[in-house]
Structure 1
């Protein structure tokens, strides 16, 4: 099927593309005799068998376009093409033109409609600025290389989608931060319950962690420590909370003063 490689405007009618595809197929089938018993097209479409292919195609297009309300476009769901509701459209086209449509051709219609959906989502061209370069994807780019949403990589892959995860301290140590900071940061190498080893920052002043202590970690990077993407939760498991904390007590496991 011949498709235009460039769409000059956004308002390309997908229904005309689908109807042109069906009309071309019908005209090619009429010109080639078929051995299989197929029900003839309706008399309203082919009243005169001696007409040329051009006139036959024009009559078919007029008949299909007159019933465009019956087989018009339908809303899409969650960005994916749903073939179920469109079977009604294909069935009405079958009844109208008098021969069945194969599954491969229905997939071709699906690809055309997906391409048109991308054109609908593109911004409108600014007609006032003629010097502005307006680039649009070709039909082949949309049909064979569909647009996919950009995948965002997770920063806390070790948690495997969990908000917190428990683990055992393998080593407790300190590390110097990046410039201009200079205070030593307390870190713990934690082996999580899923078997992955991570480095977690111990917030607050003072801690009681040692080797084989059980802690609960959460996601949260430390800006001046490269590679540290987790925080130890204070006041949970073996890590004690801060006794004299007055602000942000929930983050440090501090009790409310009496």
Structure 2
């Protein structure tokens, strides 16, 4: 499994910053099972009440996006553009039969969206019909992925709220034991303060980054899927490889690799 080193570096910075801030205190002071149960258990419970269970577990699975790099990046999109350009050349030479054979030999068929698009293309739909069907698939896929972002964002709002609930619980316990101030006030005070700490950390270092990173990956995937939608529409209209190249390039970011590719192509 690939690891996003940028994310790992960010996690290490967060750990180092917290470690530096807490270096003058006993670490055990900040380890409180009761506080963790209030924050994380309460957050999960409220989320399960708010959303369907399968959507919640899917969102929790998406939290791995924090450390796993996106499978769709600039390099892969450039490769896919070149593949479609090659398909355009095959279509011009051999027609639809040659194109269907190229589809079968392509590794792109392992992608659910691309496999669906290829199946629709092979079905022989008109341009408008093909566009409608592929764009419907793209839209539905994006909405499904966006639900995970919504759930993680909501969890990020629940966590500090349950941190405050834990604080109130601790304060109530503390006030109820004022008659034995020195002997019994320590534990409720710890719960009161640590739950707020856990809630803030959960929001800012877990749920919020997971939601933002998942959203960023979803947007990249959406751009790529829209690009490939245009690719199949160009193929169904029998456009030439140069027109395909120029049109799909408009979806690519101006990266160093792309600038290098342009220079090599013009030389």
Is the helix fraction higher in 1 or 2?
A: 2
TM-score by length of 1: 0.22
**Which one has more relative contact order, counting CA pairs under 8 Å at least 6 apart?**
2
Is the strand fraction higher in 1 or 2?
A: 1
TM-score by length of 2: 0.21
Q: Which structure would you say has the larger Rg?
A: 1
